[in-house]
Structure 1
Amino acid sequence: MSGLMVRGLLYLSLTAIGLPGNVAVIAAFLLAYHQERRLLPADAIVLHLACANLLVVGVRCLLEVLASFSLANVFSDTGCKAVIYVYRTSRSLSIWLTFILSAYQCLSIAPPGSRWASARDLFARHLALAFVTVWVINTVMSSPAVMFSLGSNNNSTAMQYSINVEFCFVRFLSIDDRNANGAAQVTRDAVPMILMTLASLIILVFLYRHSQQVKGLRGGGAEQRAAKAVVTLVTVYVLFYGVDNGLWVYTLTVRQTMTSSVISDLRIFFSSLYAALSPMVIIASNRKVKNQLSCRAQEKATLDKATTLSTM
């Protein structure tokens, strides 16, 4: 089996999991909003996160599958600029939204009437501003991709400082340009990673103390379940994006002037794993999503049964 075939199958597995998973989460929250005319702040953050993850899987993984199996190829110079720009923006949005979710959940476990509870209410009132801010930051920081991306069929001789991503190149004019761009991306990812890890540690301390106080009792409240779900998401993030960023740092420090596409493929695969698997965590842990999906499944089963009886 060729390397391109293996590559296509790996991206196909991410697409097969990530596309329906993120669509299901988005549909569940939209149905809930239609019924209740409102979404809780945490639900709005998760909905936004699912949208960003859907972009990662749909724009990057699905197109990689089509190109790997020669079904379609959008990776011209213009296509590479668009795909890499949207991928980098949605990928970093996914990271920052995970941080916003962990920060909000950390504030949500604060005792009523405390300063942290007041901060949570302030956070909730200005959530739209937080969304706009992360969109602006990440769209601006991803803009170099538009200037430097080229299709792999480009025969330019000035490719010595390029990053090879199989069907595209990200070309830089000098090693300093490449390292500066890479350092900016690492910083953009490291800041929310450190902050969300800190928030998750606070949540874990709270959960431990709560478990000691209610030792012997089964289950937990909605806040405890939501806190555990957020810690799980952050753990998945740190695992996959940690590998991704480690490979990115390696790419920036190797002596060769043009990096191998294998390293870039591994980076994209691990970062896309989070976008593909996080909806599974959300579906398993979010009661609102689970209820909406089970209700739709029951309605479909009832409709199918009625259709079958009417044709007999």
Structure 2
Amino acid sequence: MDLCITIKGVSFLLQTGLGIMGNVLVLAAYSHIAFAEPRLQPVDRIMAHLAFANLMLLLTRGVPQTMTVFGMRHLLDDAGCKVVIYAYRISRALSVCLTCMLSVFQALTIAPAAGPQLVKLKARLPQLVVPTFVGLWLLNMAVCIAAPFFSIAPRNGTVPAFTLNLGFCHVDFRDNLSYVINGAAVSGRDFAFVGLLLGSSGYILVLLHKHSKQVRAIRRSQGSSMEMRAAKTVVMLVVLYAVFFGIDNVIWIYMLTVAQVPGVVADMRVFFSSCYATLSPFLMISSNKKLKERMVCAAGEHKQESAEESTDKSNLK
């Protein structure tokens, strides 16, 4: 096997494997917390949903991409491509939408109560989480509806014009109008949510700056301190997403300006577009006290069970 293909394959394999493991750990920890606590905070529920969306993204794009790099062909038929590409498009869209939702909800949570309307809105935030989830799912299912109609299994021969070659599947738009409309709808949605999340994150940074100047005045309760720690985690997630979103779109603009896209450039775009899904769960774990405590407790319980089993075996001997 060629050295470049080996390096590329190992890179995708590590990225996909680590990302799946990290998101599964986050979901398992939040499931454990949900059973132990009467109710998850809105930010925790959004983070858990974000981990689920990122897990879906890696399973529907990272896994088949890795298998294709290692030379596996004919992974999916036309029906399989329609299901996988549709699920991938929705999960990719949910990743940006949920990151935006996380930033907006956290900005509202820590915002000073400037009037009765904001006070009522802050009190209703826990009840708005599920309806917002439903709204985002419906929105992205509608925006991504073109994907299953145009997705087909790879055919022998040259790739026709206005076709996105994903390796394991093709998205054949057939004409320039369909290609432009789909691209405009997806790009418009992405940039609208990225603009909103950057705006809300900028507001969070302003509040954090004021908080750092008035630490003694604001930290009157443990609750406000926990909210500020959660706000810092949200800002770090937004910065992480913005970095990889920027790289992804720079490569995408370059791809639109050349007649023949080099394979290595297309692979770089796939790799960087999946980096957020891989790295975000580890950022959540490292900056979220609840998740770390739950994992430490689980590890301690596992060691205790292992020690008890060893003791029982020694007694039997």
Q: Is the TM value for this pair above 0.5?
A: yes
Q: Match for 1:148 among 138, 147, 150?
A: 150
Q: 1:187 to 1:198 in 2, by over 3 A?
A: same
Question: What letter corresponds to residue 171 of structure 2 in structure 1?
Answer: V
Aligned: 1:120 with 2:117: no
1:293 maps to 295
Secondary structure of the corresponding residue to residue 111 of structure 2 = coil
Task: Look up the equivalent residue of 1:196 and give its one-letter code.
Answer: L
Instruction: Indicate the residue corresponding to 1:174 in structure 2.
Output: 175
Cα displacement string for residues 6-27 of structure 1 (whole angstroms, at most 9, x for unaligned residues): 3321211112211111011101
Counterpart contact for 2:68–2:167, Cα < 8 Å: no
Name the count of aligned residue pairs: 309
Q: Is the 8 A contact 2:74 2:153 kept in 1?
A: no
Deviations 1:68-101 (CA, angstroms, capped at 9, x unpaired)? 3246852333332222211111011011000000
**Change beyond 3 A, Cα 1:5–1:80:** farther
8 A contact 2:102–2:234 mirrored in 1:
yes
Shift of 1:185: 1.1
Aligned mates of 2:64, 2:98 — CA distance in 1 = 24
Q: How does 1:1-312 map to 2 (within 5 A)?
A: 1-70=2-71, 74-112=75-113, 114=115, 115-155=117-157, 159-214=160-215, 221-251=225-255, 253-256=256-259, 259-312=261-314
| 5+ residue gaps, structure 1 | none
1:111-155 CA-to-partner distances (Å, cap 9, x unmatched) read: 247443432323331221110110011112112111112222344
Greater mean alpha carbon deviation, residues 64-73 or residues 51-60? 64-73
Structure 2 unmatched runs, 5+:
none
> Could you tell me whether the CA contact under 8 Å between 1:163 and 1:259 is conserved in 2?
no
Deviation of 1:172 after TM superposition, in Å, equals 1.7
- Indicate how the Cα distance of structure 1 residues 65 and 73 shifts in structure 2: closer, same or farther if over 3 A, else same: farther
TM-score scaled to structure 1, two decimals?
0.91
Q: Which amino acid aligns with 1:16?
A: G
Matched-pair contact (CA < 8 Å) for 1:74–1:80? no
Inter-partner Cα distance in structure 1 for 2:202 and 2:175: 40
Q: Cα offset for 1:244?
A: 1.4
8 Å contact from structure 1 (residues 165, 261) kept in 2: no
Question: Identity over aligned residues, as a percent?
Answer: 37
Bigger mean CA offset, 236-245 vs 160-169: 160-169
Instruction: Decide whether the 8 Å contact of 1:77 with 1:149 is kept in 2.
Output: yes
Shift of 1:178: 1.4
Query: How big is the shift at 1:267?
Result: 2.4
Q: Normalising by the residue count of structure 2, what TM-score does the alignment of the two structures yield?
A: 0.89
Give the aligned residue type for 1:120: K
Q: Go from structure 1 to structure 2 and tell me whether the alpha carbon gap of 1:249 and 1:177 turns closer, same or farther (over 3 Å shift).
A: farther
For residues 269 and 118 of structure 1, what CA distance do their matches in structure 2 show?
43
**Any idea what the Cα deviations from partners look like across 1:20-79, whole Å, max 9, x if unmatched?**
110111011111111123211111111111100110112211222233324685233333
CA RMSD of aligned residues (A): 2.4
Further displaced range: 296-305 or 1-10: 1-10
Rounded Cα–Cα distance in structure 1 between residues aligned with 2:292 and 2:32: 12
